[in-house]
Amino acid sequence: MRLRRALLALLTAVGLVCAGASLGAGQAAAAAAFPNTVVPAPVSETANGSTFALTSTATLSSDDANVGGYLAGVLRASTGFPLPLTVGSSRPGSIALELSGAPSTVGTEGYQLTATATGVVVQANQPAGLFHGVQTLLQLLPPAVMGSTVNPGPWTVPGGTVVDYPRFEHRGAMLDVARHFFTVAQVERYIDELALYKIDYLHLHLSDDQGWRIAVNSWPNLAVHGGSTEVGGGPGGYYTQADYSAIVAYAASRYLTVVPEIDMPGHTNAALASYAQLNCNGVAPPLYTGTNVGFSSLCVSLPLTYTFIDQVIGELAALTPGPYIHIGGDEASSTPASDYATFISHAQQIVAAHGKAVVGWHDIANTTLLPSTVAQYWGTTATDAAVASAAANGTKVVMSPANLAYLDMKYTRKTRLGQNWAGYIDVNKAYGWNPGSYLSGVGESSVLGVEAPLWTETIVTSADIDYMAFPRLPAIAELGWSPWSTHSVTGFHQRLGAQGPRWKTMGVSYYHSTEVTWPSGS
């Protein structure tokens, strides 16, 4: 018995056993408890019983200037401490961020965090891993650390070791800036919120029937006319190419990669309204400010259509450092099926010619796909023959089932914002599915990851975004990051509850789901 306990203690110490998950109740009591406050749940957490206290004399060191600067910015604002930062110093600070010493198993995005009475060390192989480790560190500090004004603390971190890395490489969030336009500052605010939960892809839905949101130099009227309205008839707006680049750079500073979407051949009324010559009949339709879908289509038989796509994708690809261009492809109900297949084939070739891989809504699975093309599943059932057969042929899938992962679905019948065509989605539903086994015939090895889309027919302000994304976005983020072995509804409720005071401190107007106990005052 003593030997067994010693062995477990040893395994725990080297991070091979997750304290909460793998030890029996009696044995867990023998180990110091680690607070269950981090979302997404880390791969392994081992408490050592000590406590680190950040004080006014503390120093920071970082092998990466960006991650060090980010952490210093957050900590200085709320603690008021000077926290001098040295970059690449050989003398570690009280908090040291190091691009060395991490186990190779944590890969490019993972990290190891060790807190003792004397300091905190985060080690990673890449800056993205350091950044994710910093997010965990912030979640181990009291919620007031997220404030923008000075708070008295105390600023303690529970002692222990966290070894952590993602289950899936793709953990995305989509924002529809077409139905309602959101400014660069609003998108950056959302990026900051997503980064807290280790999201690594921001998919921007840049065009739809109601608006075209990115300036294209070779087709200027797309933004000028096509971007001039939105759902409900408001003024809309668009990103200049400099604006878009600023979003891409801001996302990169938080280790998110932007996936820009130009939806086609359907969802194209704004483009068709901007250029009469793109229409089969040569007549530009009026701008559209309603919320119907499926009525518009690019003209598949028109050679100019492909010149248009080539130029639009060419400019967008040049502005986009990430590997993907999303071509939409959903709900093309006014495009005949054979035309649709022809179109998707051309569009894939064009994207490939500009050096990018295609992502498309899973409707494209009915056509012949390039090996690099990714299908994004948005269906409401756990079976889809076309997606299963594409997966069998090697197509990778991003999972966004509308009835589980759509952030624009109402939480309950009473939710003021959102839609309900895919049902109601409260926390337990958003959290209660396994992306690696949910869709039949699409196993773990076919799944690139998850994405939580936020369509914005009913979403107008940043407060609206916050209300629909929180607390469900963290549920999807945990499904994408945490090993399935950590999956626990009660455990998740506790972790999620711990986020409430943080959101309160940050001014994030989240939905107080009755499925979760939120700390009083949050």
Give me the residues that bind ligand TNX (CB under 6 A), please: 293, 330-331, 361, 378, 402, 406, 408, 419, 455, 457
Question: Which position among 331, 451, 457, 478 bears the catalytic label?
Answer: 331
Q: Which two tokens stand for residue 376?
A: 């994004």
Q: What's the rounded Cα separation, in Å, for the pair 313 and 298?
A: 15
Cα maximum dimension of the chain: 84
In the bound complex, what is the minimum distance in angstroms from residue 205's beta carbon to ligand TNX? 8
331 annotated active-site: yes
Asked if 45 contacts 160 with a C-beta cutoff of 8 angstroms, the reply is yes
In the bound complex, what is the minimum distance in angstroms from residue 290's beta carbon to ligand TNX? 12
The gap from C-alpha 175 to its chain's centroid, in whole angstroms, comes to 10
In the bound complex, what is the minimum distance in angstroms from residue 4's beta carbon to ligand TNX? 52
DSSP string spanning 455-511? --SS--SHHHHHHHHTTHHHHHHHHHHS-GGG--HHHHHHHHHTTHHHHHHHT----
Cα 163 to Cα 21, 45, 237, distances in angstroms: 14, 7, 44
Q: Return the number of the residue (164 or 408) whose C-beta is nearest ligand TNX.
A: 408
Asked if 418 contacts 408 with a C-beta cutoff of 8 angstroms, the reply is yes
In the bound complex, what is the minimum distance in angstroms from residue 363's beta carbon to ligand TNX? 8
Beta-ladder partners of 44: 163
Q: Return the number of the residue (45 or 457) whose C-beta is nearest ligand TNX.
A: 457
What HEC string does 31-85 produce? CCCCCCCCCCCCCEEEEEEEEEEECCCCCEEECCHHHHHHHHHHHHHHHCCCCCE
Q: Is 488 exposed, middle or buried (0-12, 13-18, 19+ CB in 10 A)?
A: middle
Q: Return the number of the residue (131 or 455) whose C-beta is nearest ligand TNX.
A: 455
Query: Are β-strands 155-164 and 119-123 bridged in parallel, bridged antiparallel, or unpaired?
Result: unpaired
Q: Return the number of the residue (188 or 331) whose C-beta is nearest ligand TNX.
A: 331
In the bound complex, what is the minimum distance in angstroms from residue 326's beta carbon to ligand TNX? 10
In the bound complex, what is the minimum distance in angstroms from residue 48's beta carbon to ligand TNX? 47
Alpha-carbon torsion angle 422, 499, 253, 99, nearest 10: -120
| Residues shown for the chain | 522
Q: Which amino acid is at 303?
A: P
Q: What's the rounded Cα separation, in Å, for the pair 187 and 185?
A: 5
Q: Return the number of the residue (214 or 402) whose C-beta is nearest ligand TNX.
A: 402
CA atoms within a 13 Å half-sphere pointing along the CA-CB vector of 312: 27
In the bound complex, what is the minimum distance in angstroms from residue 355's beta carbon to ligand TNX? 25
Q: Return the number of the residue (48 or 348) whose C-beta is nearest ligand TNX.
A: 348
Q: Return the number of the residue (190 or 481) whose C-beta is nearest ligand TNX.
A: 190
**Known catalytic residues?**
331
